[in-house]
Amino acid sequence: MLAKRIIPCLDVTGGRVVKGVNFVALRDAGDPVEIAARYNEQGADELTFLDITATSDGRDLILPIIEAVASQVFIPLTVGGGVRTVEDVRRLLNAGADKVSFNSAAIANPQVVRDAAGKYGSQCIVVAIDAKRRSAEDAQRPGPDGQPIGPGWDVYSHGGRKNVGLDAVAWARQMAAYGAGEILLTSMDRDGTQAGFDLELTRAVSDAVPVPVIASGGVGTLDHLVDGIRLGGADAVLAASIFHYGAYTIAQAKEHLARAGIPVRRSTA
């Protein structure tokens, strides 16, 4: 059967892979090809590159990185961060990306997801959703039926700074209907806490959409990965810090999942 995937996420800015120390200070994490090759050797199932460049001026610098990695590392590559147009998708795919991830631009203009999926196929269009549990106050706002929307999760844009007033589960369903081939779901409540995925959120979205869901945000232990798949129903788990800081290798994570009875791809089949 299909293996559950482990996906390390690499942050890119100014043409380099960086990593935050305590999520603030960025330092150079080394050569992107070397890092990608190391994760590949450890058995990573895919790699996600997140362009954290603040300005569009620096954005094109990710293209040579993707080109360099794609010429040496032969596993699927996803690129996200600041993707706005169908033309952005074309340029990233031409650079060697296999999937491109929309976030804020999909909220501002949902049609771009439909257009991109129509042109390049759903298999290469990911929609990233940053979701946060609704406050008691927000739960009072009217839902689609005019009644208070009630508890749930809201979608945030612009790196999690702006509540756009969309229900995360409904939004995931809409994006899948528009042609997103995969949902990358990040819990903003859990991101950076190492307290584990928001399993209720993951389960709610996974049950709502017919496409694969990648759980993200909050991984601190290998048991969290198991929970995200087993309890959250995720098809893949994405993590950054536990791998970057050397707490665990991907091979150890795979070993742990396999011991829990979850099908994973091992380098030696």
Partner 1 sequence: MNTLLPRETVAVVDYGMGNLRSVAQAVMHAALATDHVDVVVTDNPQVVRDAHRVVLPGQGAMPDCMAELERSGLRAAVLHAAANKPLFGVCVGMQMLLDHSEEGDTPGLGLIGGRVVRFRLEGQQQPDGSRYKVPQMGWNRVWYGFEHGAAEHAAPHPLWAGIPDGSYFYFVHSYHAHPADPAHVAAVTDYGVRFASAIARDNLFATQFHPEKSADQGLALYRNFLHWNP
In sequence order, what DSSP letters do the residues of 122-188 get, joined into one string? GGGEEEEEEEEEPPTTGGGSB-TTSSB--SSEEEEETTTTEEEEEEHHHHHHHHHHTT-SEEEEEET
First to last CA, the chain: 13
Is 88 annotated in the active site?
A: no
Separation of alpha carbons 182 and 210, rounded Å: 9
Regarding 21 and contact with partner 1 (CB under 8 A), the answer is no
Is 130 annotated in the active site?
A: yes
Q: How far is CA 165 from CA 103, 133, 143, 174, in A?
A: 15, 12, 10, 14
Regarding 87 and contact with partner 1 (CB under 8 A), the answer is no
Considering only 57, 74, 136, 142, the residue that binds partner 1 (CB under 8 A) is 74
Considering only 13, 40, 48, 103, the residue that binds partner 1 (CB under 8 A) is 40
- How does strand 213-216 pair with strand 236-239? parallel
Considering only 38, 233, 249, 256, the residue that binds partner 1 (CB under 8 A) is 233
Q: Which of 45, 51, 130, 227 is catalytic?
A: 130
Please identify, using beta-carbon distances, which residue of 227 and 235 lies nearer to partner 1. Answer: 235
Regarding 123 and contact with partner 1 (CB under 8 A), the answer is yes
Smallest Cα–Cα separation from 30: which of 45, 51, 15? Answer: 15
Closest CB 110 distance from partner 1, rounded Å: 21
Regarding 263 and contact with partner 1 (CB under 8 A), the answer is yes
Regarding 196 and contact with partner 1 (CB under 8 A), the answer is no
Regarding 45 and contact with partner 1 (CB under 8 A), the answer is yes
Which residues are the active-site residues? 11, 130
